[in-house]
Amino acid sequence: MMQRWVRDHRDAWYAAFQRDRHRTGQTATLVVLLGILLAIPGWLAHALLSIDEITPRATESSEVLVFLEETLELEDRMIMERRLGEHAQVTELIFVPRAQALSDLAQNDGLSSIRDLADDNPLPDVYLLRLVPGGASEAERDVVAQAMSQSGVLAVRYFPSIQARLADVIGVLGGVVIAMIILTAFGVSMAVFVVSGAEAFRDDRRLQLYTLLGASRRYIRRPYLYRATVQGALAGVLASLVVWGINTVLSQAFSTELRSLGVPNEALMVRWEVWIALCVVAIGCSWIGAERAIALRLNRMH
């Protein structure tokens, strides 16, 4: 029993490689096509993971500027100050009177003449809120919403930290990566399905012969599935190499900028999860595409 199992699989591998030997050009083209196709979501996934890696390292806080109406009474301002200061996300609340704002502004190069406007100061009083470093962007937006809902507020400006902006990017990029993975998986399966379908059509006589000799569908499909598995594995490795190559080129091109941002080298390395995911998706989709194509052909034959 065991001997038969080994022989059946050995024969299937032999048949798979025999076919590849005769169709090297077709196999190479398919592998390159699938490898490049898979590299797109692969690189996006790597970018996503790198951003995710960098995000917790940023220590900068987001800031919110709350511009107050000129008519706001002191008592109302104190109530507002208390409410905003009690928000869990707010770590620091600084009141900047309009006179000080004008004075600070005048200290900038070329703006000294603005002091002349002291009697007719156009700037409003401002609350500067510093938020908890590393806070979730939704929680930070809640602070903004609360500030805007206060009476006597002229306008609110939100300056998200790099961390908050990266968190937003991760949210969007995550969706894009998932969509791209689904689309690519479908594309890879379809490409293998079409190629395997054409191959099965060419091998019609062989399939008929094996059917007439009493071979099971599993026996007949095996060489095609093994071939697809090898093609998928090669495509996965190629995709990984493309991702690694692009990453190396970009890391070197922007090394100065990345160093100045304090991004460590290990945050930019392609993770093993990406390598494995690429190979698994490539092998799985190739296998499914080939299996469906051969099953369809055999169904038509019976």
Q: Which is nearer to another protein, 29 or 216 (CB)?
A: 216
Q: Which is nearer to another protein, 4 or 71 (CB)?
A: 4
Query: Minimum Å distance from CB 211 to another protein?
Result: 8
Query: Out of 174, 211, 295, 298, which residue is the one contacting another protein (CB under 8 A)?
Result: 211
Q: Can you tell me the distance from the alpha carbon of 205 to that of 297, in angstroms, rounded to the nearest whole number?
A: 12
Query: Minimum Å distance from CB 21 to another protein?
Result: 9
Q: Contact letters (x/-) for another protein, 152-191, by CB under 8 A? A: ----------------------------------------
Q: Can you tell me the distance from the alpha carbon of 179 to that of 253, in angstroms, rounded to the nearest whole number?
A: 29
| Residue 214 binds another protein, judged by CB under 8 A | yes
Q: What is the DSSP letter of 23?
A: T
| Residue 24 binds another protein, judged by CB under 8 A | no
Cβ(290)–Cβ(226) below 8 Å: no
Query: Out of 107, 112, 149, 216, which residue is the one contacting another protein (CB under 8 A)?
Result: 216
Query: Minimum Å distance from CB 193 to another protein?
Result: 24
Binding part of the chain for another protein, among 34-42, 101-109, 202-210, 273-281 by CB under 8 A, reads 202-210
| Residue 11 binds another protein, judged by CB under 8 A | yes
Q: At what angle do helices 204-212 and 162-202 cross, to 10 degrees?
A: 70
Cβ(197)–Cβ(296) below 8 Å: yes
Q: Which is nearer to another protein, 208 or 265 (CB)?
A: 208
Query: Out of 2, 71, 119, 302, which residue is the one contacting another protein (CB under 8 A)?
Result: 302
Query: Minimum Å distance from CB 292 to another protein?
Result: 19
Q: Can you tell me the distance from the alpha carbon of 9 to that of 52, in angstroms, rounded to the nearest whole number?
A: 43
Q: Can you tell me the distance from the alpha carbon of 240 to that of 35, in angstroms, rounded to the nearest whole number?
A: 8
Query: Minimum Å distance from CB 259 to another protein?
Result: 57
Neighbours of 4 (CB within 10 A): 8
| Residue 209 binds another protein, judged by CB under 8 A | yes
| Residue 208 binds another protein, judged by CB under 8 A | yes
Q: Which of left, alpha, beta for 110 (phi over 0: left; psi -120 to 50: alpha)? A: left
Interacting positions 227-286 with another protein (CB under 8 A): none
Query: Out of 4, 24, 74, 256, which residue is the one contacting another protein (CB under 8 A)?
Result: 4
Q: Can you tell me the distance from the alpha carbon of 121 to that of 9, in angstroms, rounded to the nearest whole number?
A: 87
Q: Which is nearer to another protein, 12 or 180 (CB)?
A: 12
Runs of H (alpha helix) within the chain: 2-22, 24-54, 74-86, 98-106, 137-149, 162-202, 204-212, 217-253, 255-260, 272-301
| Residue 210 binds another protein, judged by CB under 8 A | yes
Quote the tokens at residue 165.
Answer: 């902006």
Cβ(301)–Cβ(208) below 8 Å: yes
| Residues engaged in binding another protein (CB under 8 A) | 3-4, 7-8, 11, 15, 18, 22, 205-206, 208-217, 219, 301-302
